[in-house]
A and B are shown apart, each in its own frame.
Chain A
Amino acid sequence: MKQLIEQFQQSLAALDRVKADALFQEALATMAPIQAVEQLVVPSLEHIGAAWHRGDLALSQVYMSGRFCEALVDGALPPSDPDRKHQPRSAIVVLSDYHDLGKRIVYSIMRASGFELFDYGRMDVDQLVERAIADQLRVLMISVLILPSALKVKQVCSRLKERGVDVKVVVGGAPFLFDAQLWQDVGADAMGSSASEAVAIVERLMGAMQ
């Protein structure tokens, strides 16, 4: 399995879609789709995310890997499949600004890891708070690129708290990478320093909620 994971990671980093597909099919020949996702796709994407955080891989490779894996996993584990992880009720959003690459990457990687979640697109604070309450979210992932948007997370967190909503807020994006203290300053519950960290964070939060 270790060799398969290494080969799969390499094919993703090289954007070799054909080889990645062949390796995924090889995994499917010996295990259930959800096992192939958890044992092959998730660790590979974690590795790719960590390599980006260290500066060893580029964002374009992370984005394309996420897209490839999302398509592979959709083929083996369609959204309606009962093995898909619909809990905790989660959503992802770009808050306030208009830069959505980070959100797209996290969304793809979450789905490639077997999760189903709402994609809210871009929203302002008021709209986001109302929607999060209406959807009874347990985890809200917020992606931003610019500092003013990152600072607006504070309003989202305090408004949700005022309304007595039990939702965990996970943030990610450039301002949080450049200031390691910022996610706590804005009242978030966690910060993902790469897209694949979002998966580990949601799994951790899910464990704590059970």
Chain B
Amino acid sequence: MNAITMTSMQRTLTALGHQEADRVPLFLLTTLHGAKELNLSIEDYFSRFENVVEGQIRLRQKYRSDCLYPFFYASIETEAWGADTLFLPDGPPLCGAPIIRKAEDIDRLESPSVPDCAGLAKVLKTIGALKAQVGDTVPIIGVAISPFSLPVMQMGFHSYIELLYEQPQRFERLMALNEAFTVSWANAQLAAGATAICYFDPVSSPTNIPRDLYLRTGQQVAKRTIAQIKGPTATHMASGRCLSILPDVAQSGTAVVGVSALEDLGQVKRAAQARVSLLGNLNGIEMRRWTPGQAEHEVKRAIAKAGRGGGFILGDNHGEIPWQVPDQVLLAIADAVDRWGRYPLNWIDEWVRTHGP
């Protein structure tokens, strides 16, 4: 099998089937870098879907990623709920003022209609245009913020923590509204041509809430939501830890879990026990100052810890490469995967002797 060069789709599906493909798949989740490619500001870049289509195609050609990532920015979802987006010149667009200013606002809130939101329509057009270009040869990864994590943007993190602990009925109402929206949004992306949905759920991470609270809240929301999404999902904690709840996350029905740079990838791989595949865990913050040699070392480290037996996709730990990461690092990552990611990964034994498991 590994002597054959696979398409990105074959490579990814083989890895997700916990088999060894021709090489480790690379999901280099670049979004903002598309603006650099087109020499546009970030705001202008995201103003037209054609820009993002062109940006994603160019980025994949340049960095040889095994997926297309038509993610615009997280607050494109809260735009549907009436929020504004604040564009930065050098970073991800941010959500403006919360749409839920006091908990009582939840009583009057209504779930928006996906087709009625211009921002979401741009994303769907992007997915459709990419699908027309690549067909079934390259996975197209859509994004939906989990209903459980969306309130961080809807009402602010501190207000949401207080709601979680102190107002269970309003929390449940908000989850019902958000679940309807997320399911509709995720399924619209799948219908437009997305292969899978990245379900961003950082609030569920044990970095942010304790496991017992997760089991009563975030996991229940994930189980209900993922069951209604008509395609595979990858759960991403966006840099948050996952190890201590990995079996619980697997029970939600997800196929892939994103791993934080704060955790040992080898330990997470052992805990996964082939129940879920892993995506990670290159440190996107440090990446901006890596030399090509460091990039190669980090790629080898990740592959050595999690590559064997499939069930692993190499990526960053957050789900988005920061704007500040230079070309030479991203190219060095691509080169290193090409050189060291080819199965059967016989070099790992020697690496482990030198660097440990």
Contacts and interface: CB of A to CB of B under 8 A. Distances in A.
Given A58-B208, A178-B261, A148 B91 contact: yes
Contacts of A175: 285
Interface stretch (B156-164, B227-235, B342-350): B156-164
Interface residues of A, number: 28
Interface residues of B, number: 35
B41 to A, nearest CB: 14
Nearest to A180: B286
B134 to A, nearest CB: 30
B285 A178 contact: yes
B92 to A, nearest CB: 7
B200 to A, nearest CB: 15
B213 interface: yes
Given A58-B209, A64-B165, A98 B324 contact: no
A57 B86 CA distance: 32
Contacts of A179: 283, 285-286, 289
B227 to A, nearest CB: 26
A148 B261 CA distance: 19
Contacts of B239: 174, 178
Given A61-B210, A63-B161, A101-B158, A55 B285 contact: no
B40 interface: no
Nearest to A148: B91
Interface in A90-118: 97-101, 104
B207 A148 contact: no
A181 to B, nearest CB: 8
A148 B210 contact: no
| Chain A at the B interface: SS class | helix
Contacts of B71: none
Tell me the dominant secondary structure on chain B's binding face: loop
Given A55-B206, A58-B207, A59-B207, A97 B213 contact: no
B215 interface: no
Contacts of A147: 91, 285, 288, 322-324
A127 B141 CA distance: 40
Contacts, number: 79
B91 A58 contact: no
A63 B158 contact: yes
A98 B210 contact: no
Nearest to A15: B165
B88 interface: yes
A104 B158 contact: yes
A129 interface: no
A146 interface: yes
B161 A64 contact: yes
B207 A55 contact: yes
B95 interface: yes
B210 A100 contact: no
A60 interface: yes
Among A60, A63, A100, chain B packs the most CB atoms within 10 A around the CB of A60
B241 interface: yes
Contacts of B289: 179, 181, 185
A177 interface: yes
Interface string A143-162: 00011110100000000000
B147 to A, nearest CB: 17
A55 B322 contact: no
Interface string B196-238: 0000000000111110010000000000000000000000000
User: What are the 7 A-B residue pairs with the smallest beta carbon separation, nearest first?
Assistant: A148-B91, A178-B285, A101-B157, A179-B285, A58-B210, A179-B286, A60-B209
Interface of B: 86, 88, 90-92, 94-96, 156-158, 161, 164-165, 206-210, 213, 239, 241, 244, 261-262, 283-286, 288-289, 317, 322-324
Interface of A: 15, 55, 57-61, 63-64, 97-101, 104, 146-149, 151, 174-175, 177-179, 181-182, 185
Given A100-B157, A178-B262, 6 more contacts: A60-B208, A98-B86, A101-B156, A147-B285, A148-B88, A178-B285
